[in-house]
Chains A and B, each alone.
Chain A
Amino acid sequence: MNPLLKSIFSTTFLFSVLRVATPIIFPALGVAISSLSGSTNIALEGIMLVSAFAGVVVSAFTQSLLLALIAGIAAGVLIALILGYFSLKLRADIILAAIALNLFSSGITVFLLYIFAHDKGVSSSLKSLVFPTIKLGVLAKIPILGGILNNQNILVYIAFLSVIVYYIIVFHTPLGLKIRAVGQSPDAASSVGINVVRIKLYALILSGVFGALGGLYLSMGYVSWFGRDMTAGRGFIAIAASSIGSNMPLGTLLGSLLFGVVYALANFLAPINIPSEIIQVIPYIVTVLVLTVYSARTAKEKEIGEE
């Protein structure tokens, strides 16, 4: 067997696919839930950054994972709330407000990193914690699956669990029903007594929670430090992943895994001089195609024009 193919079908490869996909699954769910409510949230980049930062700093100063988790989620939700306040209450365009918040998060985290750690690149001088990995014990001996799942970070499991939680929220709770109603037709929703602004705000808050978990995984699992702009566009990739899946739980998961495969592949190909750009560009092209086909289908009865 070709050594390249062999390494691709190895458990180490699949292990790294899950590892790489996790920080995309979380924000992709965040993008998806706000899209369902009718707002395009491109602030996941910023939400993840502040959560990643808050988690590292709080865990370094308190040595408590629980407090770090709470602080990370609180920081992410705070950004989502600011986005909600400006877009829903002060009628700022949500895209522009999100661009501003991404800029803000990128700036404030480096600014505070310098204050706390006297370094503008990474937080390695802070003794921060990481979330534990899960050892499967006997189960690790299961062929293939054992190798893929053993020693994964607990947040990798939580990412998959979040997809189920997302499914339950969206399809089996009153809130999910309202979110979908508001997204499909705000006027109709409001005519049956749904508070559109409030539901959109709830969707943004959930978006913040999902994004925060992704940020925490990045700085306290994927690696064990905070680095400036460490999200490296994952908040935007998340938009692609959720678009591929049309904001549905399974589709969003598959969209994220597609990016996971592609990035893991790019890492595997790097040493053998195959242009990884060609592979890396594929999911974005898929996104454009899916987006176009999907909108073409839903646009039939609507007008072009307003966003």
Chain B
Amino acid sequence: MEKFILKYFNLIRTIIAILIGFVISISLILLVSKDSFAALGYLFLGPFGSISRMGNIIELATPIIFCGIAIAIPFQASQFNVGAEGTFFISAAFGTAFALIIQSLNLPRFIYVVVVLAFAGLMGALWGFIPGFLKAKYRANMVVLTLMLNYIAYFISIYLINYHFRDKSAGFLTSYRLPDSVFLKQIIPNTRIHIGFLIAIAAVFIAYYFLYHTTLGYEIRMVGFNFHFAKYSGIDVFKVIVLSSMIGGIFAGIGGMSEVMGIHRRFLWQSLPGYGWDGVVVAIIGRNNPILIMFAAFFLAYLRIGGQVLNLLSDVPYELVSVIEAIIILLITAEAFLENIKYRITVKEAEKEVFKNESPS
């Protein structure tokens, strides 16, 4: 039992954090709702209430998976950043502009889609280069840097779309509609789940393979694990920091464009959609491991959809979900949370080992 706890300590800790988040939210519901039993049902079972709601979970998880990976790759090199938000946004804006410009070439569907996604990925890499380079070269604070770059990305994108690609016939601020041939088609009827979801799943495994089975991935993790050790063992730290930021950018860029091509079919955001922050959240919950990030994204999407159902059908507001999320993140990031339990078990185990080894002699 003790060995089991030690082996899966991080997982158990995460689950306990989630349970505490749930207990607090249940107490809040009991406190404020007139029909708390029904409200609990909406929150926890509501997301599974219909095919379209289950579809909503997958739709919402798709951009979050991309952003989670985008944040996690530089995180692995311990380059803390919040840049996925801006990268996602500006790549989607420039990707949309690019798709509209090359529309007249009448490319075959498959090639058109691939070229546009590749362009968005490239845009993401370029945008990721800026903080990576400034951090590696000048040691600028990456969190603040990426925070500012998010705003810069936002203003540039809004300017590009509103002043150069704005569809004046639409009743709201939006770009022209993308041509049908560049849509990512929906794959499950009665939902808006689209091919972008499959790309996201592929991205998870590509990122996993990259981080754990390639030299660059190893170097990234080594820089994160022990900066000085990595440096003195001959890893080019400058290269690793810049590339980790750029590769993260590729995932955010493709994620942004896939959202436009699969769901909205035009660039219609007038404010930052917040998927980059969600990316930070799932990267924390998933401990920067792409596969765990995928599950964390499903979990987050499940919570959010539960919150929406709750909001719609009961007297408890949606924002309860933000409170749950916040408590879970706080407890997961608190390294010292449950640490003394781990310590006690480790000591006990060690004592047992010692006695076992001593007794025969």
Contacts and interface: CB of A to CB of B under 8 A. Distances in A.
Contact of B155 (A89, A92, A277, A288): A277
Interface size class of B (residues with CB under 8 A): 35 or more
A303 B155 CA distance: 33
Nearest to A243: B144
B118 to A, nearest CB: 27
Contact of B144 (A233, A291, A302): A291
A107 B32 CA distance: 15
A107 B320 contact: yes
A285 B154 CA distance: 12
Given A93-B80, A100-B329, A295 B138 contact: yes
B238 interface: yes
Given A89-B336, A103-B329, A304 B241 contact: yes
A305 B141 CA distance: 10
Given A93-B333, A292-B138, A275 B159 contact: yes
A240 interface: yes
Interface stretch (B2-10, B145-153, B189-197): B145-153
A284 B148 contact: yes
B256 to A, nearest CB: 19
Nearest to A90: B334
Interface string A230-241: 000100100110
A111 B319 contact: yes
A36 to B, nearest CB: 14
A277 B151 CA distance: 10
B321 interface: yes
Interface residues of A, number: 51
Interface string B331-344: 00111110000000
Contact of A103 (B134, B317, B320, B325): B325
Given A292-B140, A307-B80, A106 B322 contact: yes
Contacts of A96: 280, 284, 329, 333
A123 to B, nearest CB: 14
A233 B154 CA distance: 13
Contact of B147 (A42, A100, A306): A42
B158 A277 contact: yes
A304 B135 contact: yes
Contacts of A285: 152
Main secondary structure of the interface of A (DSSP, over half): helix
A107 B319 contact: yes
Nearest to B32: A115
A296 interface: yes
Given A93-B80, A107-B323, A291 B237 contact: no
Nearest to B328: A100
Contacts of A86: 330, 333-334
Interface string A248-291: 00000000000000000000000000010110110011011001
B136 interface: yes
B159 A277 contact: yes
A295 B144 CA distance: 12
A264 B301 CA distance: 38
A304 B139 contact: yes
A114 interface: yes
Interface of A: 40, 42, 86, 89-93, 95-97, 99-101, 103-104, 106-108, 110-111, 114-115, 120, 233, 236, 239-240, 243, 275, 277-278, 280-281, 284-285, 287-288, 291-293, 295-296, 298-299, 302-307
Q: Which 4 A-B pairs have the closest CB atoms?
A: A107-B322, A104-B326, A90-B334, A299-B139
23 contacts: A40-B143, A86-B333, A86-B334, A91-B336, A96-B280, A96-B333, A107-B326, A111-B320, A111-B323, A120-B317, A236-B151, A240-B144, A275-B163, A277-B155, A291-B140, A291-B145, A292-B145, A295-B141, A296-B140, A299-B139, A303-B231, A304-B135, A305-B237
Given A108-B319, A296-B137, 20 more contacts: A90-B337, A92-B334, A95-B82, A96-B333, A100-B329, A103-B325, A104-B327, A107-B319, A114-B319, A120-B319, A239-B144, A240-B147, A243-B144, A284-B151, A284-B155, A299-B138, A304-B137, A305-B231, A307-B142, A307-B143
